[in-house]
Amino acid sequence: MRLNLSILLLALLTAGCATPKYSVIYDPPATPHPARLFPAEAFITQRAVLTVHGRQFTLNGYVAKSEARGLRLIVTENLGGVLADVLVKPGGKTFVLKANPPFRPAWVEQFIAADLKCVFVESAETNCPLRMPSNTHLVIKRRGYKLDLRTVEVKAGLQPAEMFSENRGEMP
């Protein structure tokens, strides 16, 4: 009996800990930036719930994405009225093409354009408060509001140049 106990103790001492030493400093791989989830050329349809001071608004977003021409976002209400139209050129320059109540042009430029860059431009903002519960679900939580985005459809393919014109007007 003592011999079995001694062998067991010797085996435990020589085996050491079952956890590898590197597990203490293990860092799981970072979640890829959501920009990598979308093709370089695409038309993306999203549904969103915007929560501002406890009030919720349901919105639709249509993003035309072109690696060479930039991003164009149209935000609509459920009945189709355009609330915001914003264009972000590849260099980061922002054009507010339309802002209808409840959105003001300054708000569109400061927040909607920032959120657009946060999701679709990998190098845009290092302080982007973005969570990605899944590949089709994104949450941006900033001071004063929360944007809960769901990607509904992604149509890959070249986008027409007219969609990226600085001239005021809606997407064709």
Q: How many domains does the chain have?
A: 1
CB atoms < 10 A from the CB of 127, how many?
Answer: 7
Is residue 133 in a domain? yes
Question: Who wins on pLDDT, 127 or 78?
Answer: 78
Residue 29 is assigned to a structural domain of this protein: no
Strand segments, DSSP code E, in 13-169 are 42-52, 55-66, 70-76, 82-88, 94-99, 130-134, 137-142, 145-156
Cα–Cα distance, 11 to 17 (Å, whole number): 12
pLDDT digits (tens, 9 = 90+) for 31-86: 677 888 899 999 999 999 999 999 999 999 999 999 999 999 999 998 889 999 99
Strands 145-156, 55-66: pairing is: unpaired
Which domain does 130 fall in, by range? Answer: 34-164
Between residues 47 and 15, the one the model is more confident about: 47
Q: Are 134 and 32 within 8 A, CB to CB?
A: no
Domain assignment present for 60: yes
Task: Provide the mean pLDDT of the chain.
Answer: 82
pLDDT at 30: 57
